[in-house]
Structure 1
Amino acid sequence: MIELVARTCPAEAAPRALWSASWWVVRRPALVVPAALALVLVLGTAPALDDGYGLRVLRGVGVLLACAWVTTTDDPSGEVLAGSPYPRAVRSVTRFLAGGAAVGAAWLVAAAVVQWRAPEVPVLALGVEFLALAAVGLGLGATLRAWRDQQHPAYTAVVGLAVLAFLSSALPRWYALQQSQTWGPPWEAAQVRWAAVLLVAVGVLGLALRDPLARARARRT
């Protein structure tokens, strides 16, 4: 479909066609439903957010939105578009950005509601947690797409993301990624660990998005 549009549209219209096609692919119930549930969660619990539930609610919103974002790793038309003028990395990044726009808007709404009802909640720090979870899911999905040639890696990636979300709070207090106490050395150490997870996940994502021919040449050398 992208190739057909690229042939019939002027060159300057090609990026818009790519963006439209990517949004058409990602605007599925797999993305819309978790994002809607995240908004329902934060708006439905808004009256109780100032009773100490703001931290938990915003973390739950982050997990739901990260799962929604990970669904953009699916490439249902990958085989058809393999010969299009856009390489797989460009198509993947455009899908990530299209889904990220919707997910990011939902996160901003949720963060604004929590900040309004519970100003003591560290919204920026929880934003780093959300980005780290999403980056892990996107990196896992992109890895499965690149090295296992899976057209629908989101199912496995979402499971991996759920496992990480569980382990982040199941570890002992001094090693857990999720801390209920938002001050002191354990909280600061947890933020450093989240930042490390984010950086590693972004690095893995970048490697997975490399051109297959470039990876083959690197293996030969």
Structure 2
Amino acid sequence: MLRPLLPAVWRTVPWRVLAAAGAAGLLLAGSTRIPDGEPGAGLGLFVLRMTALVGAFGLAFVLDDPARNTSTGTPVGRAVRTVLRLAFVAPLAALWWTAVLLLLPAATRPPTAPVTLQAAGTAVAALALATVAVRFTDRAEVGRSTAAWLTAVALLVTVVPDRWGLLAAPDDPWWQAAQIRWAVVLCAALVACALWTPEPLVRRRPIPVRTG
């Protein structure tokens, strides 16, 4: 049953959006090599965070499915189709992030493990927002609204003081606490995806979407 489903799922993945986001992220990371002198680690951390956000904007469109309203009656559930999409995208996203890290000069590159945790939290948060939109609306394409919500969340994060927020620098005394908060964000987003990806056992009436 899964083998004939693979080509159909592959065709529904928004590869153009993902490619555009990936290219923009690589260009952003590669911009650190343009100056004559290597920029500091602070700028490198900022660039990596912005690059991770750009990648997350691409992932916000992963669950877009123009055929959603015609595939709800298929024997393969939404959870299986979503897992197949992520199985296609996740390895490429990992390779992309590795290339992003390697593009930064060594002196500019912040600690890779914490910044990778932050990138993973950002990416899975985007997927969680898209999952919620799919679960509680009847929209076939939720990428634009998910990107808007992701923008709002990112702006909210920037106004939280570093002492209690997520954007501390490695030399700040609350750097380790920020990493714990990023781990919480990642785990919470994973739980949200696991809870709301499958179709509900009792089908609810989706929230109507006004057009025009």
Equivalent residue number for residue 208 of structure 2: none
**Residue 112 of structure 1 aligns to which amino acid in structure 2?**
L
% same residue: 27
What's the CA shift for 1:103? 2.4
Instruction: Report the more deviating stretch, 84-93 or 207-216.
Output: 207-216
Distance (Å, rounded) in 2 between the aligned partners of 1:169 and 1:193: 15
Q: Is the 8 A contact 1:22 1:98 kept in 2?
A: no
Cα separation, partners in 2 of 1:183 and 1:211, compared to 1, 3 Å: same
Distance (Å, rounded) in 1 between the aligned partners of 2:100 and 2:175: 22
Cα separation, partners in 2 of 1:120 and 1:72, compared to 1, 3 Å: closer
Instruction: Report the more deviating stretch, 131-140 or 97-106.
Output: 97-106
Structure 2 alignment gaps of length 5 or more: 205-212
Q: Residue 139 in 1 paired to residue 128 in 2?
A: yes
Distance (Å, rounded) in 2 between the aligned partners of 1:66 and 1:128: 13
Give CA deviations for 1:33-54 in whole Å, capped at 9, x if unaligned. Answer: 1111101111232244831121
More helix by share: 1
Distance (Å, rounded) in 1 between the aligned partners of 2:191 and 2:64: 20
Q: Residue 192 in 1 paired to residue 180 in 2?
A: yes
What's the CA shift for 1:119? 6.2
| Moved beyond 4 Å, runs of 4+ | none
Distance (Å, rounded) in 2 between the aligned partners of 1:120 and 1:29: 29
What's the CA shift for 1:153? 1.4
Give CA deviations for 1:48-71 in whole Å, capped at 9, x if unaligned. Answer: 483112111111110011111121
Equivalent residue number for residue 4 of structure 1: none
Equivalent residue number for residue 51 of structure 1: 39
Distance (Å, rounded) in 1 between the aligned partners of 2:167 and 2:146: 20
Equivalent residue number for residue 167 of structure 1: 156
Distance (Å, rounded) in 2 between the aligned partners of 1:92 and 1:176: 31
What's the CA shift for 1:25? 1.6
Cα separation, partners in 2 of 1:76 and 1:65, compared to 1, 3 Å: same
What's the CA shift for 1:184? 4.6
Q: Is the 8 A contact 2:45 2:109 kept in 1?
A: no
Equivalent residue number for residue 61 of structure 1: 51
**Residue 117 of structure 2 aligns to which amino acid in structure 1?**
V
Q: Residue 36 in 1 paired to residue 26 in 2?
A: no
Given the two structures, how large is their TM-score scaled by the length of structure 1?
0.82
